[in-house]
Every structure is written in C-alpha cells, then in structure tokens.
C-alpha cells in the first residue's frame, strides 16, 4: 500500500509516531496506555498488539494495561447509554 500511496503512507506513519514521542508533555507510557485504550474501543487487533507491546516497553504493568481496558469498556458503555438517551429524544420529536 505504501508504494501505491507514498505521500499518504508517510503522513500516516508520521501521525502514528506521535505515540512514541519521548519529548512530549505526556510520558510515553501514558501515551501508549491512551493509544491502547483507543485501540480497545476501535477493536483494531493490530493496534492492540503494537500498543500493548509499546506499553510494556515503556514500563506499563499488566495491571495498568488491564485497567486501561476497563476504562475503555466503561467509556464505550457510556456511549451506548447516551445514544439511548438520544434515541428517546428523537422518538419524542415524531
């Protein structure tokens, strides 16, 4: 794919590399845990693999990885609840 869309591929890799930055205000371990939580909600197995390994390399514990998955699950459930409330609002508009 990179050969077929070289400019876009380079842009995507550069964007993806912000997680691995060391000079950011947010430490790399937390960047990886955030990325991992997002990967849980998007359900991307490749992202989960990359960021689980990245989190471990950055010093995250098994407990921190587990907690990030539970936080992601809670937020995903919250989204379903708020969409349910939105459905009731739309229901009332008919």
5-16 confidence digits (pLDDT tens): 999 999 989 988
Interatomic CA distance for residues 33 and 39, integer angstroms: 10
Q: Is 59 left (phi over 0), alpha (psi -120 to 50) or beta?
A: left
What is the reported pLDDT for 53? 97
Q: Is residue 22 over pLDDT 90?
A: no
Mean pLDDT over 8-37 rounds to 92
Q: How far is CA 50 from CA 39, 47, 76, in A?
A: 10, 5, 21
Q: How many CA atoms does the CB half-sphere of 87 hold within 13 Å?
A: 6
pTM of the model: 0.82
Instruction: Tell me the two tokens of residue 75.
Output: 């937020």
């Amino acid at each position: 794919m990179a050969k077929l869309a070289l400019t876009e591929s380079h842009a995507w890799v550069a964007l993806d590399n912000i997680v691995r930055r060391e000079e950011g205000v947010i430490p790399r371990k937390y960047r990886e845990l955030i990325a991992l939580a997002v990967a849980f909600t998007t359900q991307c197995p490749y992202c989960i693999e990359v960021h689980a390994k990245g989190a471990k390399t950055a010093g995250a514990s098994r407990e921190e990885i587990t907690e990030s998955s539970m936080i992601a699950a809670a937020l995903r459930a919250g989204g379903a609840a708020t969409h349910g409330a939105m459905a009731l609002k739309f229901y009332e508009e008919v």
